[in-house]
Amino acid sequence: MNGKILVKELLGELPLTAEIDWLLRYRGKKSKSRFNLDALAEHLPEIMAQVTPHAESAPSGKKIFFFASWHYWIMHTVLSGLTLRGLGHDVTLGYLPYSDYDLPISRFNLRRQDLYARHVLRGAHPLLKIVSFLDLKPAPRIPAALTQAVERITFYDTQYTLQREEVTGSEPVYLLRRERNLAAARKAFACFQKNRPDVVVVPNGMIQEYGAVYEAARCLGIPTVTYEFGEQDQRVWLGQERLVMFHLTGELWAERQKRKLNAGQRAWLESFLAARQGITSGDKFAHLWQKTSRAGGDKVRADLGLDRRPVVLLPTNVFGDSATLGRTLFSQSIAEWVTGLVSFFANRPEVQLVIRIHPAESRSVGPSIVDTIHQAVASLPEHIRLIAPQEKVNTYDLMEIADLALVYTTTAGLEMAVRGIPVLVSGDAHYRKKGFTLDADTWDEYFAVLEAALADLPGQRLTPEQVARAWNYAYCFFAEYPRPFPWHLEKIWSSLEKRPLSYVLSPQGRAEYEATFQQMAGAAITW
């Protein structure tokens, strides 16, 4: 520890040092750290003026406890919390003023950031009750189940942060995250015991302090709602009494699986899937993963040097992504699955294996699946083609020439099923076992299904009935499972400019969004 950090650690333990420093040097000034709530401070007076009349006349609702850490989530939960207050609910926002989830911070700087957060969040009073987790006393003891949950969350945190699957428990980030997660769990447990809310609402709920607070509520039997944002603008995923990132669509699918899409529904899905192949987000998306425009199947086949032998496409996930954490079925990891397939196909020159590394890996901080593959097989045979994340290849051109797809949990598997391509799933994907994929529960089953598929690739093409089923499920997942929501996390202030709280709380805005906010508050989701 260098001298400057040591001094701040010592100062952080002394009463009022951070308070005096903030009052003399920072009060009334814009934030100079990554923990930045300045935009919220600028907008809050107008937001409060818009919400107050609604809050004063709304019937009393539930006691809702929101939790947030990191400045973007704090700002977003303030907007959501104030909207629910405008609908009549009694809302408390608990927060932690961290600027980074994976780096240590001195006690002095943390207290100073908390003073800044209090100063900004005071602008939401009296509509929101604000609770700094730094003020809360931890429970002296917590249930063993909650301690075990903290260990699981910390394991996921380490995978998520380092973007790798192997975790020893000795990594500095593991030790940091365990300390913070345990502290959050103990404080949340004590807080909820003392002042029990009707529902606890937590972003994600799977990782970091979000997971700790979620699990504390679960241990106490308090209803929970988790939520997260995907690629679609003006849409949010909600999970009631479950982790939202697992995309548990069972209830929705039970209601819809016998449906035949009408012309309007099919047209919507065709337009959506076509837009998803592009590189410009437009109005439908907050982000897209493709970085290269479509060139066509024939062009990509020629560019990659592929001949007319059958093509097996393996699009990968990203190590440590929330879409893969806790999704193993029979393989120990994504790496084991991929390297096992590379070894299998090394002796199958009658087919061409194309491995498409996820384009998001170009921003990854962890090991690439490319490295994992080369460690397992030093020299790839000519019939195995590896496409690195930065290569200018559109994944949808590869789908056009694929005869079989091998997937872990990537949504590309669902999109290929829609195209009639047989898809063999190895991870716990939400679209698995819905009637249009090839599935297995053990390694032996997996390779038996794979061998059978390779023996008759033309015969594995999905039947018209299976394709229709895939279209129906895709419409469920893309059009119905995400709920209408006014502000995407990646576009908070531009979204707020288009859809201010005065609009969201107006009759027209309520017609669009009130059901989602009430479901966020725990009202049953009906399909």
Same domain, 106 and 81: yes
Contact at 8 Å (CB) between 185 and 215?
A: yes
Alpha-carbon dihedral angle through residues 123, 124, 127, 133, given to the nearest 10 degrees: -120
- 383 and 513, same domain (yes or no): no
Residue appearing with tokens 């020893």: 168
Return the pLDDT at 7.
Answer: 46
pLDDT in tens, 122-177: 999 999 999 999 999 999 999 999 999 999 999 999 999 998 889 999 999 999 99
Q: How many angstroms separate the CA atoms of 338 and 357, rounded?
A: 11
Crossing angle of the two packed helices 172-194 and 144-162, in degrees rounded to 10: 140
- For residue 242, with 0-12 CB atoms within 10 Å meaning exposed, 13-18 middle and 19 or more buried, which class applies? middle
Q: Does one domain contain both 390 and 308?
A: yes
Asked if 154 and 285 sit in the same domain, the reply is no
Domain membership flag for residue 133? yes
Within a domain: residue 164? yes
Q: Look up the CATH number of the domain holding residue 471.
A: 3.40.50.2000
Measured distance CA(286)–CA(232) in Å, rounded? 6
Residues 172 and 272 in one domain: no
Give the per-residue pLDDT at 246.
94
Residues 67 and 141 in one domain: yes
What's the mean pLDDT in 284-299? 81
The overall average pLDDT reported for the chain is: 91
Domains: count for the chain: 2
Residue pLDDT, tens place only, 64-99: 999 999 899 999 999 999 999 999 999 999 999 999
Q: Are residues 467 and 515 in the same domain?
A: no
Q: Does residue 525 lie within any of the structural domains?
A: no
Tell me: the pLDDT tens digits for 474-486? 999 999 999 999 9
311-367 pLDDT, tens per residue?
999 999 877 677 788 999 999 989 899 999 999 999 999 999 999 988 777 666 667
Query: Do residues 223 and 358 share a domain?
Result: no
Q: Is there a single domain that holds both residue 291 and residue 382?
A: yes
Instruction: Look at 422 and 288; give whichever has higher pLDDT.
Output: 422
Amino acid letter at 95?
Y
- Is there a contact between 99 and 69 (Cβ–Cβ < 8 Å)? no
The torsion region of residue 477 among left (phi > 0), alpha (psi -120 to 50) and beta comes to alpha
Same domain, 37 and 168: yes
> 256 and 240 in one domain?
no
pLDDT at 462: 98
Report whether pLDDT(2) > 60. no
Q: Where are the beta strands (DSSP E) in 320-421?
A: 352-356, 384-387, 404-407
Task: Name every residue whose Cβ is closer than 8 Å to that of residue 445 and which is 6 or more positions away in sequence.
Answer: 330
Assess if residue 526 is contained within a domain.
no
Is 355 within the bounds of a domain?
Answer: yes
And the tokens for 21?
A: 């420093």
Which residue range is the domain that position 356 belongs to? 252-479
Residue 527 covered by a domain: no
Domain shared by 453 and 497, yes or no = no
**Strand 438-439 vs strand 423-425: parallel, antiparallel, or unpaired?**
parallel
The token pair that represents 308 in the structure block? 């007319």
User: What pLDDT sits at residue 407?
Assistant: 97
